[in-house]
Amino acid sequence: MDFGFGSQDDSFRGEARAWLRDHVGGTTDRREWERELGAAGWIGLGWPEDGYGNRRATLTQQVAWAEEYARSQAPPRSGHIGENLLAPTLVAHGTPEQKSRFLPPIARGEELWCQGYSEPGAGSDLAGVRTTAVRDAPHGYRITGQKIWTSLAHEADWCFVLARTDPASQRHHGLTFLLVPMDQPGRIEVRPIRQLTGTSEFNEVFFDGATARAEHVVAAEGEGWRVAMSLLGFERGVSTLAQQIGFARELGEVVGAAVATGAADDPVVRDRLVRQWAELRAMRWNALRTLGGSGDAGAPSVAKLLWGRWHQRLGELAMQVRGAAGAAGPADWSSAAPYELDPFQHLFLFGRADTIYGGSDEIQRTIIAERVLGLPKEPRGPKG
């Protein structure tokens, strides 16, 4: 598409920049920050419908907001799963009652969501989910199973869950997309997963007879695969450009460290730094080229392959420019703080997951091979 910013976009950008300047740093509570964003109408800019407490914004204005948000170093979002994944899905497939019930609280920043897709035996192979949802008339469904790598489940009020409602079904048949309240003591348990960085952004979620109301099925029973694939199509676009603002800041810090330590005097290091810069520019232009496009099955996979490995290489480069000092923590060990990391160490360790979460590199290449290039599908082993 022909992408460019006009005078109205510049005015919108100025409004966003001024608001962020006045409000960033005012609160450290992530829930309170979501409510603050919602009260000012900054949630739901990209929704194809307004009237739910959100303001409408053009695609270029959404980019302007996302870029200014990243530049302001505002707090990480807790509500992005509901805003950017569930809300567009409800707009496309939900009933009027579902939209009226769930979109306003998301727009106000009052209800947070998590995504119940991956399972221990079906991480990248989403069609292999085994979590079951049994109809319990007249109340709805009872859900039993386990989800894993569930971001922000420890904070979420609701979870959209892909579950198997037809026990005789296989693969992508017989799946249903359910909206499940997380406040069900004894029926839902959330266990944080500690990572290499010592933090726990991801969780295991165990469902033991958790309930979901019949009117909270999106589309219809058995149509979960269609809804789930539609939702995955929203994991692209504007957020990628905002992500690159953060990448550019990290790259700048690595360049600064290379100069300070003398590592930049090494021609091999200089070559790697320039290559990282050039690849980041290429990623930006690719994101702009595909922004707003539809029907390109390979675009999200190409974008994920590009940024995942790029960010991993940046972490490796950050440790290289630090040299031997990169192996030492920023503070002396103590029982109160046994696992302290500096920003470069955190970048390096967390980056090991970049080529796994959000769809592993192997899965992205398979999508490109089968859906874009038309190559034969990967053979599957015998059942059982």
DSSP state letters, 74-102: PPPPSSHHIIIIIHHHHHHH--HHHHHHH
User: Based on C-alpha coordinates, what's the Rg of the chain?
Assistant: 22
Round to whole Å and give the CA distance between 138 and 119.
28
Give the Cα-Cα-Cα angle 195, 198, 200 (nearest 5 degrees).
60
Round to whole Å and give the CA distance between 170 and 63.
40
Q: Active site includes 340? A: no
132 alpha-carbon distance from chain centroid: 25
Burial class (CB in 10 A: 0-12, 13-18, 19+), 357: middle
- Select which of 221, 235, 253, 340 is catalytic: 235
Round to whole Å and give the CA distance between 384 and 369.
26
Give the CA distances from residue 113 to residues 70, 82, 86, 117, 183, in Å, rounded to whole numbers and listed in that order.
22, 5, 8, 13, 12
Q: What is the set of active-site residues?
A: 235
